[in-house]
Chain A
Amino acid sequence: GAVVSQHPSWVICKSGTSVKIECRSLDFQATTMFWYRQFPKQSLMLMATSNEGSKATYEQGVEKDKFLINHASLTLSTLTVTSAHPEDSSFYICSATFQGYNEQFFGPGTRLTVL
């Protein structure tokens, strides 16, 4: 149980376009979802925390107008990278958890390449 999916698994886009990444909890209701960014051979950096039905809480230095996060239901959160630039190229990973649980369940990640 506790499976999280991400879609797409990889995406290539042109500079200036917007890209939406979906994160779904398949077999549980996720009260909280997290979005991370990971550069090659580096650790995960938390971008934002989103609770269902409320606005996401962004970490310091993360532009909320550039990385739009929507957590409209207990099983779906989306991250939209707006007006993407080459420096936004990265591996984006979501995770989800539920009330009273300490462990996070991770999606397989989305590789974004901006040309």
Chain B
Amino acid sequence: SQQGEEDPQALSIQEGENATMNCSYKTSINNLQWYRQNSGRGLVHLILIRSNEREKHSGRLRVTLDTSKKSSSLLITASRAADTASYFCATASLPSSARQLTFGSGTQLTVLP
């Protein structure tokens, strides 16, 4: 079942602006991952942050994790039209032996040229 909620559900910004998406989850986690999905396609892994990490960077992506609030945020800086996609957070709960992921509800990002 879906564990997390993401907000906003939809976000529309101009090219060059920053986009921030938030994710909340319910149970203790081993790690949290962010994925991107272009319309009608599979998912692409963006970044993984472990439960003992608070912030992680990868190119124009910045992810934060607050385990006390059970929340994470994904920041995309200097957005481009090509960043238009749905973004999902996914959590790997403890214990993590099964390596299953529970996906959030997703944020549809539209970057206007």
Contacts and interface: CB of A to CB of B under 8 A. Distances in A.
Interface of A: 4, 6, 32, 34, 41-46, 49, 57, 59-60, 91, 93, 95, 97, 101-109, 111
Contacts of A104: 43, 45, 99, 101
A-B pairs, 5 with minimum CB distance: A106-B42, A106-B43, A108-B42, A44-B103, A43-B103
Contacts of A103: 33, 45, 48
A95 B106 contact: no
B41 interface: yes
A109 B102 CA distance: 18
A111 B42 CA distance: 11
Interface of A, secondary structure class, is strand
B100 A102 contact: no
B48 to A, nearest CB: 6
B92 interface: yes
B103 A107 contact: no
A45 B104 CA distance: 10
A9 to B, nearest CB: 9
Contacts of A34: 100-101
Given A43-B103, A43-B106, A102 B43 contact: no
Contacts of B25: none
A102 B35 CA distance: 13
Interface string B9-43: 00000000000000000000011010100001111
A92 B44 CA distance: 15
B42 A107 contact: yes
23 contacts: A6-B42, A32-B99, A41-B108, A42-B105, A43-B88, A45-B2, A46-B103, A49-B98, A60-B1, A95-B42, A102-B31, A102-B33, A102-B96, A103-B33, A103-B45, A104-B43, A104-B45, A106-B35, A106-B45, A108-B41, A108-B42, A109-B40, A109-B41
